[in-house]
Amino acid sequence: MTRLALLYTLGKGIDCCDFDRAIEWEKKAHEAGSTMALFNLGVTYRMKGDLLEARACFEKALSAGDNSAALELAKLYVVSPKESETARNYLNLVLADHSLCEAEREEARGLLSRI
């Protein structure tokens, strides 16, 4: 289900991107027990321009133990100087999790140096 959703998100094998269909399939995947679907939902909502839903999905993914979502949350907050402390807290979560890939940790270090 998550792979089918990704095809809709990227527009692969179909005429164009269909974020609504992607969201539909990610929700089904989440209902079937996929925690990765929450993260993917956040990405799709962000791509669609719905930042409130994206944030909600990333927060749920983070609560479910997906610390990659902390990086995505930081990206949502880093755009506002008023939210720099919130962004910093999320970035520190990423840096503290040594199980995340080095590319995510490097991106977190880069964002942290800009705040």
Nearest by Cα to 45 from 71, 26, 28 = 26
Percent of the chain with pLDDT over 90: 70
Contact 51, 74 (CB under 8 A): no
Predicted local confidence at residue 11, as pLDDT:
73
- pTM score of the predicted model: 0.86
Predicted local confidence at residue 22, as pLDDT:
87
pLDDT surpassing 80 at residue 12:
no
Predicted local confidence at residue 75, as pLDDT:
97
CB atoms within 10 A of CB 64: 13
Q: What are the structural domains, with CATH classification, of the chain?
A: 1-66 (1.25.40.10), 67-115 (1.20.58)
**b or e along 79-107 (b: 16 or more beta carbons within 10 Å of the residue's beta carbon)?**
eeeeeeeebbebbebbbeeeebeeebbeb
Q: Give 36-88 pLDDT, tens digit per residue.
A: 899 999 999 999 999 999 999 999 999 999 999 999 999 999 999 999 999 99
Predicted local confidence at residue 35, as pLDDT:
84
Contact 26, 37 (CB under 8 A): yes
* Composition of the chain by helix, strand, coil, percent to 5: 75, 0, 25
